[in-house]
Amino acid sequence: MKDSYRHKGLRSQLIKVLREKGIKDEKLLEAMGLIPRHLFLDNAFEEWAYRDVAFPIGSEQTISQPYTVAFQTQLLEIKGGMKILEIGTGSGYQACVLAELKAKVYSIERQQSLFIKTSKLLPEIGYNSIRTLFGDGYLGAPKFAPFDRIIITASCPEIPTALKEQLAIGGKLVAPLGSQQKQTMVLLTRLSEQEYDLEPFGKFAFVPFLKGVVKVD
Ligand code: SAH
C-alpha cells in the first residue's frame, strides 16, 4: 500500500478538521499532515484512516482518534531533540507524530503481538529512529530515564510512581486520569525532586492501562 495524492488530499481535510476543533500548534498540524495514517490500519479500513475517529487495530486495542493524539501532543510542547517515553505503542501512529516533531522516542507496549507487528511496520514506513520496547508501562523504562516528556495513551486510575520518578525536573507528563469509562486529561509538571504540579484539561475515553504483559504463545 502506498501513499497517493488521494491520501494526501484526505489528510489535508483531516488537518482542517483538527484546526477547526481548536488544535493550534502549526508544527504539530504539519507533522500530522505528513504521516500516512492509512498504513496503520488494515487495508480493508483504509477509508476510515482520515476520519477523526478512533479505530480497532486488533488485540482489542485502538489507534487513538486524531484529535486526541493532537490534543495530548499539543499539551506536551515538544521541541526537537527531547527524549520522550510513550506508554502504549499500539499502532505506532502517536510515536510517529512525536518522531516527526524531531523527538527521540521510546515507546512501550504490553501486548507482544502488537509490539512485534508495530516494531516491523515503523522502519518499513521510514520511521527508523523510534525505539520500541516490550514490557509493562507501569514500570517505565528506567534504563533510558530521565525523560523530558512522558505520554500515557491508556486510561489510568493514578499516575504510576515509577513514571513520575523517570521524569526530568522541568519535564511534563500527559495522561488520561480516571475510571475505565471516562477520564480527565491531565498535565503533570515536575517542578523539583519532590514537587509536581497537576493541571486538568477536557474529558476523554481511552482503553485501559493494564498491569503486566501479554506474551505470544
Ligand atoms: N498510542 C497508540 C494508541 C494505543 S491504545 C496509537 O497511537 O495507536 C493503548 C495501548 O496501550 C494498547 O496498545 C495497550 O495494549 C497498551 N497498554 C495498556 N496497558 C499498558 C501497559 N501497562 N504497558 C504498556 N502498554 C500498555
Q: What is the DSSP string of 50-103?
A: TSSS-EEEETTEEEPPHHHHHHHHHHH---TT-EEEEE--TTSHHHHHHHHTT-
Give dist(CA 109, CA 129) in Å, integer.
Answer: 17
Ligand 1 centre distance from Cα of residue 131 (Å): 15
Nearest-atom number in ligand 1 for the CA of 57 is 8
186 near 201, Cβ under 8 Å? yes
Write the pLDDT tens digit of every residue in 1-30: 688 999 999 999 999 999 999 999 999 999
Write the pLDDT tens digit of every residue in 22-79: 999 999 999 999 999 999 988 778 888 999 999 888 888 889 999 999 999 999 999 9
Q: Which residues is 19 bridged to in the sheet? A: none
Ligand 1 centre distance from Cα of residue 155 (Å): 9
Write the pLDDT tens digit of every residue in 188-209: 999 999 999 999 999 999 999 9
Q: What residue's CA is closest to ligand 1, atom 17?
A: 88
Cβ atoms < 10 Å from Cβ of 180: 14
64 assigned to active site: yes
Q: For the chain, give the number of residues.
A: 217
Structure confidence at residue 1 (pLDDT) = 62
The three three-digit cell numbers of residue 169, written as one number: 525536573
Rg (CA), the chain: 16
Which residues have any ligand 1 atom within 6 Å of their CB?
Answer: 61-64, 87-88, 90-91, 93-94, 108-111, 114, 136-138, 153-154, 207, 209-211
What pTM value is reported for the model? 0.97
